Every structure is written in structure tokens, then in C-alpha cells.
């Protein structure tokens, strides 16, 4: 009888009270986008996590390439209550939306005191909604100005602090070089999220924004129209090429990287590619803050990047949180910064001697990250972006006056948001 009771007790423990590891191998699925740069260090990091967690396997699965496609993938799967992944790479602008939808595990109860202190404050802000933390900061971006240091040096020019200076420098350098194939200023104006980012940066430089703290849309419509009209003028005047309304990050990055432009607005990942051994501009590129407007605020780049969230429907939430913690750790972020074209969210790494030897731009990049500004933090951000994109695009291709586009965008957004509130 004693032996029978013991067998039954063991059976109860293994069937009901035992951990997942006792029942058999656990598989975690990590969804992340393809890593740009010399190498993808993530697979090796996943094997390292497995080595520290016997009986756990982590399967990395690629997301679609563009941010819009990634968002669509998540919405379809999460609305369908799919348990197909545990840890997910999220664009920073999605965190409030996904938290409100009930798709993310609330990480707040398990955070250690001071755990978020090493991260840029702006990345922690983007991970937080209504005082709760829903994701861990993984990598960070900021819009910045790339310039041909060799060309500016040749003509005795310093990196421009205003757009007027930038335009004058373009005219001077192109006249001196006598190269009709040399473009001036490249940026992203294709109708997608990158267009919104570029327009927001122009708004900020002109002392305005899309959404005020009190929820007012386009609080200074005249300033917004002025900034949008200025961007159209860059194209109309030839400072930026005629193909700018078709340009995304990679199209503009490749053109600059081939030596066909003086200036480029892009993200930090591009520097690693410009410094590659086979790059035509290797050793000839510098970085600076984005220009402002004369008499206005200093230029500031939009912050971006990715956070790691845990699916609320994960079958193994504790292990999934452990994986997110490991991938956002100092050791993992350093490996990613060395092997890939991604910038860390932990501030100390921007002054790590080993990293700085490999990426000498990091200390300067730290200051630019600190000075960057967030896009509107709201669960309705995707609605804002998708609504203003066609209006901004219509101005940049010359089909609509800036003031009318701002007025139409404001009217449509007010209607949509009133219906949601």
C-alpha cells in the first residue's frame, strides 16, 4: 500500500505540479527581423541561452522585412490568439497599442529595483504605458546627418547647423566638383513610416509637432505647413533629387554609399556599411545632428529602434522573460553591437573601449541619441501615421498645397479619433 501511494504521489507531481522542464523539452519561439550588418550574432546568442537552460530550445524565426509587414503579421496572429511565438521584436511605436490590446505580458511585477536604470530614458518611456512596463529595450535608433567629410574638408566647410547652410553647401560643392551625377541631400519621402519620421523632424526643427501633450492635432498648423513646404522646396530646387518621393532608407543609403551624394539623413546602421572594406566611401563619412531652421530650435533626430515583448499567451512566460532579459543584457547587446549594424540601448556601451575601437562613432552617437525625440507615444500612433502619409506625400510630389494637406489631415484625424474615444 505504501508503495502504491508513493507511485500515485509521484504521478500527481509529474502530471500536475511538475515544471515544463520536468515534462519534456521546451521550445521557445523568438520572432525578429533580419539583422543588417557584417554578421547576425543572434543565432549564437540563442545557443548560449540554451546552454544555460538545459532542456530548452529556442527557435529564431524571421519577420517580414518592412515594419508595416511586421505589424500586419503580429496583428493577424495575435488577434487570432495564436500561441505560435513567445518573444517578439517590436517597433518602439507599437508598445502602447499592443499593451492596450492585451497582447503583451506585463513585466512590471518581475522587475528588479534599478533594472531599467542602465537604459536610455527615452527607451524606457517607449516601453511604458500607464505606469506599467510591457517590453525591454533591445536596440536604438536616431535620425542623423551623414556627410562626405572629404568633400566638406576640400571646400573648408563645417557640417551645417541649419538647412539654409546645407543648401548653400550643396550648391558650392556641386559647382566645384562639376559632377552632374552628384546629388545634394538624400532623405526618405516614400509614402511609408519613414516619410512621417522625416516630416516630424522638420516639424520639430520649425518649433512645432503633430500631436501636443493635451491631444491637440497640429497645434501650430502654420508652422507645420511651412516645414512641409520647405521639404517640397528641397526637391523642387534640386537640392534633393527628383526621385526623393520614392526613397526609403536603403535606396537613399545605397546612393550615398556609392559616392553619389553630399548629405544623407538616415539611421546609425548605415555607418557600419559605409565603413565596410569594399565601400566606395570608406573613411570619408562623418556624422552630425540633423540641421535646424535659422532662428529655431536645434535639429533633433527621431528616436526609434526595437523592444522585446513577451506574448501574453506564451506557454512558458517565465522562460520567455528570461530570454528577453538575456538578449537585452549588457553582454548580449555588446555582441550585437560588434557583429551587427545595431546600436545598444544601454548607455554604458557607447563608451566601452572594445566597442569604441570597432565603432569609433559611438561616443558621438551617444550624444545624438540623448538629444533625440520620440514620435507621439500613443496607442493610436499607427492610425496617425497611416492617415497623414498620403497627405504629406501629396505635397512632396507637388499635387497639394501644404496648408491644405495639413488642414485635411487634421480634419480626418479628428474624425477618426473622436470615433475611437
Q: What is the pLDDT of residues 333-392, one digit of tens each?
A: 999 999 887 899 999 999 999 999 999 999 999 999 999 999 998 889 999 999 999 999
HSE, side-chain direction, 13 A CA sphere, residue 199: 33
Give all strands of the β-sheet with 343-344 in edge-to-edge order. 56-62, 26-32, 87-91, 303-310, 136-142, 343-344
Report the pLDDT value the prediction gives residue 22, as an integer from 0 to 100.
45
pLDDT band at 136 (very low <50, low <70, confident <90, very high): very high
54 pLDDT more than 80: yes
Structure-block grid coordinates of residue 406? 495639413
Report the pLDDT value the prediction gives residue 23, as an integer from 0 to 100.
57
Report the pLDDT value the prediction gives residue 339, as an integer from 0 to 100.
85
Q: Is residue 133 within a helix (H) or strand (E), and if so which, with residue range?
A: strand 132-133
330-339 vs 42-52: helix crossing angle, rounded to 10: 150
Distance CA 164, CA 88 (A): 42
Q: In the predicted model, what is the mean pLDDT of residues 211-217?
A: 92
pLDDT band at 247 (very low <50, low <70, confident <90, very high): very high
Structure-block grid coordinates of residue 54? 538545459
Reported pTM: 0.86
pLDDT band at 401 (very low <50, low <70, confident <90, very high): very high
Report the pLDDT value the prediction gives residue 9, as an integer from 0 to 100.
34
Say yes or no: domain 144-301+380-420 is CATH 1.20.1530.20: no
Distance CA 357, CA 371 (A): 24
Report the pLDDT value the prediction gives residue 64, as an integer from 0 to 100.
85
Average model confidence (pLDDT) for the chain?
91
pLDDT band at 35 (very low <50, low <70, confident <90, very high): confident
Q: DSSP letter for 216, please.
A: -
More confident call, 9 vs 98: 98
Q: In the predicted model, what is the mean pLDDT of residues 225-250?
A: 97
Report the pLDDT value the prediction gives residue 83, as an integer from 0 to 100.
65
Report the pLDDT value the prediction gives residue 38, as an integer from 0 to 100.
62
8 pLDDT more than 90: no
In CATH, which of 3.40.190.10, 3.30.1490.100, 2.60.40.10, 3.40.50.2300 is domain 23-141+304-371? 3.40.190.10
Q: Per mean pLDDT, which of 38-52, 83-97, 195-209, 338-352 is the most reliable?
A: 195-209
Q: In the predicted model, what is the mean pLDDT of residues 145-154?
A: 98
Report the pLDDT value the prediction gives residue 24, as an integer from 0 to 100.
62
CB–CB of 264/258 below 8 Å?
Answer: no
Task: Tell me if domain 23-141+304-371 and domain 144-301+380-420 are identical in fold.
Answer: yes
40 pLDDT more than 90: no
* Domain regions of the chain by residue span: 23-141+304-371, 144-301+380-420
pLDDT band at 66 (very low <50, low <70, confident <90, very high): confident
Query: pLDDT tens-digit profile of 71-121?
Result: 999 999 998 876 689 999 999 999 999 999 999 999 999 999 999 999 999
* pLDDT > 90 in the chain, percent: 81
Q: In the predicted model, what is the mean pLDDT of residues 187-214?
A: 96
Q: Per mean pLDDT, which of 16-20, 122-126, 255-259 is the most reliable?
A: 255-259
Amino acid at each position: 500500500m505504501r508503495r502504491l501511494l508513493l507511485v500515485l504521489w509521484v504521478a500527481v507531481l509529474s502530471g500536475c505540479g511538475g515544471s515544463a522542464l520536468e515534462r519534456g523539452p521546451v521550445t521557445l519561439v523568438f520572432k525578429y527581423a533580419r539583422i543588417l550588418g557584417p554578421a547576425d550574432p543572434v543565432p549564437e546568442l540563442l545557443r548560449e541561452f540554451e546552454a544555460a537552460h538545459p532542456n530548452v530550445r529556442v527557435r529564431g524565426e524571421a519577420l517580414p522585412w518592412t515594419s508595416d509587414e511586421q505589424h500586419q503579421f503580429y496583428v493577424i496572429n495575435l488577434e487570432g490568439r495564436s500561441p505560435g511565438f513567445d518573444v517578439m521584436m517590436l517597433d518602439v511605436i507599437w508598445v502602447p497599442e499592443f499593451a492596450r490590446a492585451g497582447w503583451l505580458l506585463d513585466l512590471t511585477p518581475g522587475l528588479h529595483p534599478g533594472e531599467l536604470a542602465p537604459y536610455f530614458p527615452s527607451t524606457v518611456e517607449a516601453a511604458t504605458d500607464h505606469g506599467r512596463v510591457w517590453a525591454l529595450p533591445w536596440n536604438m535608433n536616431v535620425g542623423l546627418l551623414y556627410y562626405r567629410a572629404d568633400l566638406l574638408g576640400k571646400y573648408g566647410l563645417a557640417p551645417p547647423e541649419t538647412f539654409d547652410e546645407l543648401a548653400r553647401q550643396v550648391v558650392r560643392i556641386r559647382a566645384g566638383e562639376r559632377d552632374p551625377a552628384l546629388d545634394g541631400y538624400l532623405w526618405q519621402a516614400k509614402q511609408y513610416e519613414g516619410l512621417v519620421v522625416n516630416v516630424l523632424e522638420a516639424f520639430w526643427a520649425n518649433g512645432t509637432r503633430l500631436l501636443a501633450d493635451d491631444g491637440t492635432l497640429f497645434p501650430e498648423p502654420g508652422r507645420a505647413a511651412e516645414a512641409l513646404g520647405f521639404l517640397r522646396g528641397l526637391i523642387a530646387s534640386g537640392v534633393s533629387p527628383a526621385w526623393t518621393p520614392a526613397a526609403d532608407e536603403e535606396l537613399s543609403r545605397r546612393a550615398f554609399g556609392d559616392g553619389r551624394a553630399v548629405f544623407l539623413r538616415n539611421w546609425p546602421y548605415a555607418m557600419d556599411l559605409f565603413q565596410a572594406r569594399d565601400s566606395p566611401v570608406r573613411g570619408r563619412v562623418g556624422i552630425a545632428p540633423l540641421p535646424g531652421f535659422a532662428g529655431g530650435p536645434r535639429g533633433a533626430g527621431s528616436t526609434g529602434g526595437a523592444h522585446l515583448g513577451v506574448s501574453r499567451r506564451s506557454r512558458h512566460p517565465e522562460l520567455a522573460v528570461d530570454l528577453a532579459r538575456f538578449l537585452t543584457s549588457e553582454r548580449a547587446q555588446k555582441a550585437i553591437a560588434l557583429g551587427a549594424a545595431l546600436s545598444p540601448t544601454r548607455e554604458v556601451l557607447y563608451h566601452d573601449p572594445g566597442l569604441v575601437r570597432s565603432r569609433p562613432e559611438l561616443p558621438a552617437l551617444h550624444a545624438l541619441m540623448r538629444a533625440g525625440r520620440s514620435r507621439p507615444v500613443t496607442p493610436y500612433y499607427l492610425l496617425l501615421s497611416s492617415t497623414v502619409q498620403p497627405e504629406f506625400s501629396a505635397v512632396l510630389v507637388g499635387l497639394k498645397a501644404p496648408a491644405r494637406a495639413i488642414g485635411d489631415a487634421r480634419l480626418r484625424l479628428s474624425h477618426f479619433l473622436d470615433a475611437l474615444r
